């Protein structure tokens, strides 16, 4: 199986590049942000809890997030070619749990694709997305909180994966197709 984590700050292009990776490699997509947004839209209890964190730009607590991921992995087709994890893990405990959950399914992480984009560009992209899609957490106050949370809680994962030799650094600036070409090259060199 090809199991990839797509890692990067909010606005780094994880959703866009996930779609291209799925098309090329036939992987199953798990986007924890999308799972949560669907729960909010459907007005579920989980959605209400999630909204109280997402609207402030905070992370959903690890225990809850790990339960959600466990459920998502359970619904994987048996003949799956692998998974692209988009937006998970976002903390060290989530990364450790992901390794355990994959091991329970007799598989492992193949690599981590790190999309690196300068901060001003991240902010500009999220503001544009907010205008185009109406995504509620793409407003300037929440964006700045999400970036702070990213630096404090998620960025340390880069070193975690570099130490394991699984981090593939990708320049996330430029047009979508050339970024995807760099990703494909990194995946195929693995």
Catalytic residue among 20, 38, 56, 129: 129
**Is the N-terminal amide bond of 50 cis, ω within 30° of 0?**
no
Rounded distance, CA 44 to CA 38, Å? 9
Least Cα distance to 114 among 59, 175, 157 occurs for 157
Alpha-helical segments (H) within the chain: 14-25, 32-41, 45-54, 62-74, 92-104, 119-133, 140-149, 156-164, 176-189
Binding site for ligand AMP (CB under 6 A): 10, 32-33, 36, 53-54, 57-60, 65, 87-90, 94, 137, 146
Residue with the CB atom nearest ligand AMP in the bound state: 33
Q: Which is nearer to ligand AMP, 132 or 188 (CB)?
A: 132
CB of 168 to ligand AMP, least distance (A): 19
> Diameter of the chain by CA atoms?
44
Whether 70 is catalytic:
no
Whether 90 is catalytic:
yes
Q: Which is nearer to ligand AMP, 60 or 179 (CB)?
A: 60
Whether 125 is catalytic:
no
Catalytic residue among 146, 158, 164, 190: 146
Q: Which is nearer to ligand AMP, 154 or 182 (CB)?
A: 154
Q: Which is nearer to ligand AMP, 88 or 167 (CB)?
A: 88
CB of 164 to ligand AMP, least distance (A): 19
CB of 66 to ligand AMP, least distance (A): 9
CB of 78 to ligand AMP, least distance (A): 25
Whether 14 is catalytic:
yes
Catalytic residue among 20, 56, 135, 158: 135
- Residues catalogued as catalytic: 14, 90, 129, 135, 146
């Amino acid at each position: 199986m090809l199991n990839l984590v797509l890692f990067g700050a909010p606005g780094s292009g994880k959703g866009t590049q996930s779609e291209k990776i799925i098309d090329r490699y036939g992987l199953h997509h798990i986007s924890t942000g999308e799972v949560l947004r669907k729960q909010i839209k459907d007005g579920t209890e989980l959605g209400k809890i999630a909204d109280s964190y997402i609207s402030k730009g905070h992370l959903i607590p690890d225990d809850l997030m790990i339960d959600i991921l466990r459920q998502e992995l359970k619904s994987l087709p048996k003949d799956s070619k692998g998974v692209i994890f988009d937006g998970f893990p976002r903390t060290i405990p989530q990364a450790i749990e992901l390794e355990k959950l994959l091991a329970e399914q007799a598989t492992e992480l193949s690599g981590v694709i790190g999309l690196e984009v300068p901060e001003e560009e991240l902010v500009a992209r999220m503001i544009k997305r907010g205008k185009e899609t109406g995504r509620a957490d793409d407003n300037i106050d929440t964006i700045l909180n999400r970036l702070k949370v990213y630096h404090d809680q998620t960025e340390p994962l880069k070193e975690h994966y570099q130490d394991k030799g699984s981090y593939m650094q990708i320049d996330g600036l430029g047009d979508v197709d050339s970024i995807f070409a760099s990703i494909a090259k990194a995946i195929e060199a693995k």
